[in-house]
Amino acid sequence: MYSILQPHLQAVVSRRGFRMVSDIGFNPIRIDRGQESSLIIGSDGQMLEIDNQKEQVSDGVMYPFPGVSSCGVVSSDSWIGSWVDRSMRKAYMGSFPLGEKWESVNSDSDGSENKDVDQSVSKSASWTRELQSEPLAMCTVEGNIVFACLGSGIYMIDGNASEIWRSPYPRWRELEDLVGIDSIVSLFRKEDEIYAFSSSGGYSVVSMVTGHEINNGILSNLPDRVHDVRYDQDSGWIIMLHGKNVAIMSDLNSKPAIFRVPGPVMDVSPCEGGWKWTGWRHDGYLSNGRLNTFGRNEVGISLIDDIVLTNSGNWRKFKGDDQKFL
């Protein structure tokens, strides 16, 4: 059975009387955002629910899976996430109610092959499913969840895990030689369509209603592999790359504008005239074609408004190093 360590959470009382987390006590890898609440995901499977004021909602750190969640989304009043047991080659998905303290998962440490979904997912889950392949990315569509599984397809389910449609896994003839290392890295809704992007620059557009593929193509002239893609109606497309570049596109058929940055961009947010972001030892913004970057000692993991969550679990102000949030 796992021995669950509870990281020390440093907090202060905000003006509204709630506890505002200044140091989350673990190393985060991402934030799964929602309209009212968000989940901070830790590198060892930790999860902490916060509201949009960065104030702690859940009563301490939670462990819904035995390891780190591979991907997840906040949908309505639930968080839906996945976990991959690579030693057993099994994948699981579960839905967890927001605003509650989840029971930490119990699991045998002997790696028994008889381990099932009940042992691999917290009992606080509203529902759980064992999947046939690894979930790669998720997004929400009006209370439904769309997710991509490696090599098997893209699926839409409702809030109770009932399947609505499934679409074949995207294929790109020009990328066939890379199929062993290529995988979907980004999935999101744009109007009535679902966009899926692969690490090698392939993209697929499927109908939100039927799941049928509408369009399929490849992003051209990218200097590095893709690790995430975002879109904003006013700011256009931003392609986040693994190297020291970021790409901006007005549409997916245009030639990308490549900008050199100090390191990989980890999270972005649209701003007037372009984008702002945090990333590997820097923050930056691009407005009306002008690039500005600001150094920091740590890695910026996520950006909420003008606040950066760093890889050490601290909140810092946007635009550079040693600017404390509190």
Give 71-138 as a DSSP string: EEEEETTEEEEEEEETTTTEEEEEEEETTSPPPPP---TT--TT--HHHHS-TT-SEEEEESS-EEEE
Query: If you write DSSP's letter for every residue of 156-167 in order, what string do you get?
Result: EE-TTS-EEEEE
User: Which of these, 298, 258, 294, lies nearest to 277 by C-alpha position?
Assistant: 294
Q: Are 186 and 137 in contact (CB under 8 A)?
A: yes
The pLDDT of residue 118: 59
| 3-state secondary structure at position 297 | coil
What is the length of the chain? 326
pTM listed for this prediction: 0.87
User: What does residue 24 show for φ and ψ, rounded to 5 degrees?
Assistant: -75, -15
Report pLDDT digits (tens) over 258-290.
999 999 999 999 999 899 999 999 999 999 999
More confident residue, 73 or 174: 73
pLDDT band with cut points at 50, 70 and 90 for residue 211: very high
- Look-up: residue for tokens 């040693």? 322
| 3-state secondary structure at position 174 | helix
Report pLDDT digits (tens) over 214-273.
999 999 999 999 999 999 999 999 999 999 999 999 999 999 999 999 999 999 999 998
Report pLDDT digits (tens) over 300-316.
999 998 999 999 999 99
The pLDDT of residue 86: 83
